[in-house]
Structure 1
Amino acid sequence: MQALAQWSRHRIDEQAQTVIPNVHAMVVGHTTVRRPVVLGNVYHIDTGGWLEHGYFTLLNLTTLEAIPPIPAKLDWEAA
């Protein structure tokens, strides 16, 4: 179960918008995306800050506002 929770890419591969019940927000990484994205209540913010052309995404944990802003649509290309 731990490996599934840590490494599964099902939600982002399928662009699943389902909400995780009883959780305000889940912030995840390990799958690099060109722009941050929200799917349901899951915030994918790994924008490849460690890559030459990547950048870091900051997320205000109180307001859930991101810098840079989160676009309305998933940009799934690797950073």
Structure 2
Amino acid sequence: CIVPIYGDNNTVNLFKRDGELEAYNLTCGNAYFLNIGYPHAVINMSDKPRIALMFSLDGTEDLENFDKFGFYK
């Protein structure tokens, strides 16, 4: 899981799937669940730093109880 905190549209996340290169710009403040089993890279072409939080989850069971307080219903 990655949560971009600070950056701009000149930061690109690249993934290679099925022989094709895919490019994504991840919006700050959102959480993204990525399959890092694919070859991947991040390119920051901005003059600003890129700041992101990264988390590792141990399977999908971690997500089942994510909103146990009901904030996102």
TM-score (norm 2): 0.26
Higher relative contact order (CA 8 A, sep 6+): 2
Between Structure 1 and Structure 2, which shows a larger proportion of helix residues?
1
Between Structure 1 and Structure 2, which shows a larger proportion of strand residues?
2
The structure that has the greater radius of gyration is 2
